[in-house]
Structure 1
């Protein structure tokens, strides 16, 4: 019950009391005594009402304070929750940004490193390629210098022909050569014919020239066969003059021997010789069939970094006509058999 309702009840009670007093018509002393107890009751009622009102007020204030405290606590909780979420989101975004920036920095660094690595590798490749080319060119020039010619047309071919007159003497020069990658052999004849000091002369000067890049270190062991051709200043006429060369080398025992087989059953035997430093020298014998026609000597040298080639000459004391003769020859090595 509210204070307003308590007060209204008290007024009604007081009015009823007043009416009772007026209707009795007695003296005031008689009237006062009967109402002494109601006044006490009224006071108690007012006190109870006041206490109740106070309690209700206190309860209302407590509830209001509790509600306000709850609302404040909830507001603070929500504010704290919002702040925590915003902080967490800000930290997440900041961490995400840092991670992205780190990843991008690492990507750019890796990309830069890859580009630099590729550039370095390309520079190294170009440097190696340049060095290889320079080395190859230096080796080629060394071979050219050693051979005296810069020519990659390999095999036997005509080299030179020249005729001139010196007084009454006719001088004819003719040569063929056998060119290989590391060596070249030239067979030349200078023939002088005519009258000199009242006498007719017919002189033939035949020379064999061997040039090339000599082998500095021969295989320490094994056996190998070299095959090639022999020829003179007229070439080889498909073997009619020179012939097919086969030469066997025993690097282990340091010896070599071979044979030249030409046309018309002609052959030249190259006797076994000892390998000394970079060459082998021994005797040569000319045969037609089984008929021995003359003797001479030969010398073979090794050319190329790994003894890839042999080149040399043969000097015969007499040919089939009884005249001195000479041949050049060259061959390429097969596989070294251990």
Structure 2
């Protein structure tokens, strides 16, 4: 019987041969005591029984059905030891072949891993760990390693990008410039990134210098147009090319003023020199000519001429008076000799110093005759002088005091006192009348200049006794103060308006205050531009922060390439098919994912079957659901209006071992209504068999939990709000305590 035919023996035949073999075993003795005779048929039965036993032993040792039958056929007539040795050799050869295949697989895995980009060490470690697993598992392991390496690479790139942003900002770039530079150079070498930054900084500096040079050229042109020479214009432009327009304008105005002043002084000096020459020519000494020219160098020609004439007249008069004084001295001597006192002689000489000799002689004679009268008059004069001193002490001017004294020098003391008191009263009345008239005039002037009644009265009261110049200065100062106050009030009003506008646009109090302070004196257009720039920067920061927060919460599911948004996708995570002692076990792990921008719901499934060959004795599938994403804060969920959330749902109740990948799940449609005012929500899922009713539930925290029913089944559902303002929901439904359905939806417009 061939090995092939033997393999086709039924279990019943094999069992029968085994029984025969067993019954023929041992020893028996015949009547004559001779050895039993074994017939050929018995011998064949014994061999067959041994073959069957060897088959069983070989299979128990791990050989396949075919290998065990071949081994048993070849050794069914061999001794026990030989058969044992043969079996051990086969097992050793099989093990060697298995190890050879494992090593070949390991070498192939090393080559594959290196080709995929792993290092020698990484490839060897990967191959060693996976040399005995299935091709699919080895492929998955390699993909995971590559994904981890890629993730690490991307993490390093991002860390480098963040470092480049910080470095660029430290070097003086704006937020936007730093981010653009870092994005472009995040994967280049440190040296190349440094070069790129230096180039950007050089370009920025070149642009700054270009603007400065353009401003310098413009300032040169402006200065030359204003009358400066080429050299003056260039010096002015060089000094002011980097200052503000206002400061440059002030500097130019000062230069022009200085030039005008220098020209004025030069003209004055030329006039002074001419006046010196003219005065010397007219007969003045060097000192007199210089003094005259210095005093009149800024006067007009007519005034200078008058001044010179006056000086010449004064000189002539001085000479005349010198002659008179000589005569006066002679008359004093003559009078004293005639018996007059020093004072009388001086008075006489003073009175007659310009008279001719005869008249002077007559006058002396008369004096001598009138000495008695003179003494009387002297007393009167003494009284007059005393009255002058008293009147001046009381506050009268020199002229008033003299007039008063002259009128009262011969009156008695009481009358003179009364007269003085009346004069003082009249003067005070006149003074007060003038002050009041001035006060009224100042009020009118102040009101005409724009002051209120109260401001004008206060100003006039304070300045009614001041000089016209001081009163004008005071009024100008008040007007300047009022104008400055109005300007500051206008600026402050603009600042308050800018704060309100910025806060309305979404800035925080601190941001709004800072923006308004910086732009309170800017034009409306410039302030709007500044606000728009701030809002754009904040929006970009918020977008990046939001993306980072979503990515952190969703983890590796934040990958639209693998998990497309608004689609349900399925992925097999692992597969194994193993047979032990003819018992075959298949295990599959897969996930079903519904991904949305802010959230994701994941169904994780573990399926198994057990049987022999293609016959299945048992199977099953376990499931668990997870939701991830950026949860909405409880206080950020809308409090008014109604909205509908629409999206997809999925379930996976069929063991994927019996279905294709597309049969990993069933897809349905979600419609869920929320009344934010009443804080209630309910909805339905269709397309998963009977309609799934999501019964009304109440918002608690950041989600809703309530009863779920599908035909005869009763369970519960739980959902959460996701996104900054509850833009999405994701949730799960459990029937009979087992996660069964995952769902998610996006909010439509909120209606009142």
**Scaled by the length of structure 2, what TM-score is found?**
0.26
Higher relative contact order (CA 8 A, sep 6+): 1
**Counterpart in the other structure of 2:115:** none
Q: Answer yes or no: is 1:100 the counterpart of 2:524.
A: no
Report the counterpart of residue 746 of structure 2 in structure 1: 332
CA gap of 1:98–1:133, structure 2 versus 1, over 3 A, is: closer
CA positional deviation for 1:180 = 0.5
Match of 2:627 in 1: 210
**Cα distance between partner residues in 2 of 1:99 and 1:251:** 72
Question: Deviations 1:150-189 (Å, cap 9, x if unpaired)?
Answer: 3233122334212124765321112221110000111221
Match of 1:256 among 659, 681, 690: 681
Match of 2:245 in 1: 109
Whether 2:552 is the aligned partner of 1:155: answer no
The size of the alignment, in residue pairs, is 224
TM (normalized to structure 1)? Answer: 0.56
Structure 1's 233 and 145: CA in aligned 2 closer, same or farther, altered over 3 A?
farther
Map 1:28-107 to 2 at 5 A: 100-101=225-226
Q: Which residue of 1 aligns with 2:716?
A: 297
Inter-partner Cα distance in structure 1 for 2:585 and 2:227: 96
The equivalent residue for 2:543 is 136
**The residue matched to 1:155 in structure 2 has which SS?**
coil
Residues in 1 aligned to 2:227 and 2:598: alpha-carbon distance in whole angstroms: 62
The answer on whether the counterparts of 1:285 and 1:294 sit within 8 Å (CA) in structure 2 is yes
Distance in 2 separating the partners of 1:99 and 1:330: 74
- Residue 695 of structure 2 corresponds to residue 284 of structure 1: no
Change (3 A) 1:234 1:130: farther
Q: State the Cα distance separating 1:143 from its structure 2 match.
A: 0.3
What is the rounded CA distance, in whole Å, between the counterparts of 1:263 and 1:282 in structure 2? 19
Residues 138 and 334 (structure 1 numbering): CA distance in 2 closer, same or farther, change over 3 Å? same
Q: SS state of the match for residue 133, structure 1?
A: helix
Contact 2:646 2:671 in 1 (8 A): yes
CA RMSD after TM alignment: 4.3
Residue from 565, 570, 576 that aligns with 1:164: 576
Gaps of 5+ in 2: 1-221, 250-522, 655-661
SS in 1 for 2:637: coil
Kept after mapping to 1: 8 A contact 2:629/2:722: yes
- Which ranges in structure 1 are unaligned for 5 or more consecutive residues? 1-96, 288-292, 319-323
| Contact residue 175 and residue 234 of structure 1 kept, 8 A | no
Aligned to 2:610: 194
**Measured at CA, do residues 208 and 102 of structure 1 come closer, stay the same or move farther in structure 2, by a change above 3 Å?**
farther
8 Å Cα contact 1:282/1:299 also seen in 2: yes
User: Structure 1 residues 129 and 273, CA, compared in 2 at 3 Å: closer, same or farther?
Assistant: closer
Q: Which residue of 1 aligns with 2:82?
A: none
The structure with more strand, counted as a fraction of residues: 1
Once the two structures are TM-superposed, the CA of residue 295 in structure 1 deviates from its matched residue by 1.1
Residues 1:109 and 1:307: Cα distance change in structure 2 (over 3 Å): same
Match 2:592 to one of 176, 179, 183: 176
The 2-side partners of 1:121 and 1:306 are apart by 28
What is residue 225 of structure 1 aligned with on the other side? 644
| CA contact 2:599–2:629 (8 Å) conserved in 1 | yes
Q: Is the 8 A contact 1:176 1:234 kept in 2?
A: no
**8 A contact 1:156–1:176 mirrored in 2:** no
CA distance in structure 2 between the aligned counterparts of 1:145 and 1:98, rounded to whole angstroms: 61
